Amino acid sequence: MSLDNVVVSSLLERAKFYLSETVAPKANEIDESKDALFEALRGLGNLDLLALKVPETFGGKEFSEVNYGSFQKLVARYSGALAFLQTQHQSAAGILVAGDNSTLQHEYLPLMGSGEILLGVGFSHLRRGGKPIITAKSVPSGYLFDGAVPWITGFGCFQEFVVAATLPSGGAVFGIVPFQDVQQLGGGEITFNPPAQLAAMNSTSTVSATLNHWFLPNELVVSVKPPGWIHAQVKNNLLRATFLAFGCAEAGLDIIKSAFEKKSLSFIEDAFNSLQAELNSCRSAISKAREQEVEFTQKLQLRAWSVDLATRIAHAAVTVSSGAANYSYHAAQRVYREALVFTVTGQSSAIME
């Protein structure tokens, strides 16, 4: 085993210990309580696990896509809300790494692994078709932003977030803006609606924002992307979200296994073995697809399989938990709701189809 593999294994073991011992017992509270969720995120920061894909030169761990996916799966197994929230922050770090602003990279990235700086993201709207809902135009020394950002997670936890707006060319500009109501001297403002009441992961404190003539100076511009960039990203990252689905599936299998141990019904064991085998097959197929760079249509089928499987396993967890699964605080109820969230995470029309 190489030194790099030793380091990765050690970090994943450290994460698993924290998640199983500290997060798992509070998983239902973390799903409902913003304070509990933010405390759990700070725990990952205390272990320096919040900038895993960031290069070592910026203080990160420089995880490969597969190693980072293993971490994603691990977090999702113990808390879907925590997995979703930390993904926002690590995505922001990834945008900074891929950006053109070296000053921002040196200012932000070294402090992101520990959570000393916490960033959210607001760019999923770029995947939508039709007229852009937030636009930007170039002005002297920066850009003016106008429009709405429909989905930003982590209000009250993240200090700032990376926002994206569509340019007249069809490209997009990314920049860092405050995650609180602010009015600029020149009249620009950014305001936030109260957190949405979500059916799942309500603790993530998800809000929408309105930017009215918000001036983004060039110093806070992360990058400018060409037309069609987001659609290329969707294709390239198509299988990335499967790690979250797999973590959710493993959480469901944990519940099914526990139910069998309590009820000793052979058909529950049969179901567990069958679903576990299918999960292994799905993981193996997706792993091969990553290595071989298969056709986009095949990737779509694999992504759909992972979502469908996680949902069926979560449904099975509800079934074997009987009437107790109707309680909002029951683990099977929480995992079933998490499966719904991961169904639409990173969704495009092609995935939907």
String of DSSP letters for 88-124: HHHHHHHHHHHSS-HHHHHHHGGGTTTTSS-EEEE-G
- What percentage of the chain reaches a pLDDT higher than 90? 87
Q: Quick one: average pLDDT of 162-180?
A: 97
pLDDT at 2: 40
Mean pLDDT of 296-313: 96
Close Cβ partners of 35 (under 8 Å, ≥ 6 residues apart): none
Residue 228 has a pLDDT of 84
pTM of the model: 0.95
Region 217-240: what's the mean pLDDT? 89
Helices (H), the chain: 3-18, 27-32, 34-46, 65-78, 80-98, 102-108, 229-236, 242-263, 266-292, 296-320, 331-344, 349-352
Residues β-bridged to residue 161 = 120, 177
H or E element at residue 181: none
| Band of residue 207 on the pLDDT scale cut at 50, 70, 90 | very high
* Pairwise CA distance, residues 29 & 150, whole Å: 26
pLDDT score recorded for residue 235: 81
Tell me: the pLDDT tens digits for 29-57?
Answer: 999 999 999 999 999 999 999 999 999 99
Overall average pLDDT of the 116-133 stretch? 91
Which of helix, strand or coil describes residue 14? helix
Is a pLDDT exceeding 50 seen at residue 169? yes
